[in-house]
Structure 1
Amino acid sequence: MSIEHLDRIDAISINSEDKVTLTICDHLDWDDEQLHSTMLQDKIFAYLEFMESGQMLEIYPDAKDRLAGIMVDLKYAPTEFGSAVLQNIKNFFDAKSIEFRWEILE
């Protein structure tokens, strides 16, 4: 799966803190920052719609009564622009009390 497939959840799991984590697998480099950030934002907000619409509970009933968040696994480190985009998205999710984080896979 990847950020190119908006209609798919890349991974869903329950982490060690008993929270549901929806993971996005981002394999793209940041050479085209604008395109990459647009694609990533589209995927992230598709995940948010999946959570808020109730689809998550239909497909993954173990999510019931658990907090849920979104994790982005990045193959490539974001540029300064990409980092700013990710931080802005985090701020948006913080205001909704939804965990949003990312990490660069080594």
Structure 2
Amino acid sequence: MRKNGVENSEHLDLISKDNSYVNLIIVQTTEFSSEQFSNFSFKINAYMEFVRNGQLLKMYPDLKAHKVRISIDMHVPVNDWALELFENTKQALSQHNVEFVWSELV
């Protein structure tokens, strides 16, 4: 079985869309700690590369008018360290016209 979340930067966990956004979703089911910082960075960079290199629109050309949102769905509590990382990521991605959001689903 393939792992989801930051442990697997080679895999896009989930893609969805609504009226305005295409949502590239990271599904995180294990505890998130500072030791996973590089994994998180690799995963975010992989998602951004999927957008920047045109692969997203090649696979889904009907999404051309949609804005891009990357989200992480946390199935574990978000700790203070992760919250700070998510805020910094949100700010960094906004400079590339990409929205970043997170949800705590516990």
Q: Secondary structure at the match of 1:99?
A: strand
Q: How does 1:78-93 map to 2 (within 5 A)?
A: 78-93=78-93
Of all paired residues, the percent bearing the same amino acid is 27
Q: Secondary structure at the match of 1:42?
A: helix
- On the 8 A contact 1:26/1:73 being kept in 2, the answer is yes
Aligned length: 103
In structure 2, the residue matched to 1:26 is: 28
2:13 matched to 1:10?
Answer: yes
TM-score by length of 1: 0.86
Deviation per residue, 1:7-48 (Å, 9 max, x gap): 221111112x43111111011203xx2222321221111101
Which runs of 4 or more aligned residues in structure 1 lie more than 4 Å from their structure 2 counterparts after TM superposition?
Answer: none
2: CA distance between counterparts of 1:82 and 1:37? 9
**Root-mean-square deviation (Å):** 1.5
In structure 2, the residue matched to 1:65 is: 65
| Unpaired stretches in structure 1, ≥5 consecutive residues | none
Residues 4 and 62 of structure 1, relative CA distance in 2, 3 Å threshold: farther
- 1:102 maps to a residue whose letter is W
1: CA distance between counterparts of 2:94 and 2:49? 16
Could you tell me how far 1:60 is from its partner in structure 2?
2.0
